[in-house]
Amino acid sequence: MAEVMGRAAPNRRGFLKGGAGLLAMTIMPSGLIVGQAWSQMPQATKPETFATLVQMSRDTYPHAMIEDKYYAVAVDILDQAARASKGDLAMLEDGVAKLNDAARTKHETDYAAVVSDDDRTAILKEMESDPFFQKVRSNLVVGLYNQKELWPMFGYEGASADKGGYIERGFDDIDWL
């Protein structure tokens, strides 16, 4: 940290670390969504829709060790698809509207504002067969788990073909069986 007049000067990282606890999620007037650990500018979906999709993604594939910014990267793939297809955009906007309607019926608030993880999960379970839910869920399989930064958190070392395969690189080192 730099010093100014004998005192530690504030820097961006320190400011963000201190301020992030106060800010859960804010949608700025420009449409920029600022959350605890991520910021993303949706191009096709409404900012509220994007933020709800991030929460839905976390509820669909919950991992406490993964920051919201990785879920936002996965949701951005949906946003990109919505830029190319009005049908995809309508599916996302309408799906989030249905999600919010279900949350308002049961909890008198939008989905992303429902406090309990269990309550949000129950809402999602009721939508499991909906094409909207299936679209988001299937996108997350690739959009979330194909981020190389996350692989070490799951113990995945990546592709092995270019390193000679797994036979000599831990194929049989599984110790939990």
Stated as kind and residue range, the H or E segment containing 86 is: helix 86-107
Tell me whether residue 4 is exposed, middle or buried, using C-beta atoms within 10 angstroms of its C-beta: 0 to 12, 13 to 18, 19 or more. Answer: exposed
Residues 95/45, Cβ–Cβ less than 8 Å: no
Mean pLDDT of 80-102: 95
d(CA 134, CA 5): 57
Which residues neighbour 62 within 8 Å (Cβ) at sequence distance 6 or greater?
117
Q: What percent of the chain has pLDDT above 70?
A: 72
The one-letter code for the residue type at 82 is A
Residue 174: pLDDT over 80: no
The Cα diameter of the chain in Å comes to 62
Query: Higher pLDDT residue, 165 or 123?
Result: 123
Q: What is residue 103's predicted lDDT score, i.e. its pLDDT?
A: 97
Q: What is the pLDDT of residues 33-90, one digit of tens each?
A: 545 445 567 889 999 999 999 999 999 999 999 999 999 999 999 999 999 999 999 9
Q: What is the pTM of this model?
A: 0.72
Residues 132/95, Cβ–Cβ less than 8 Å: yes
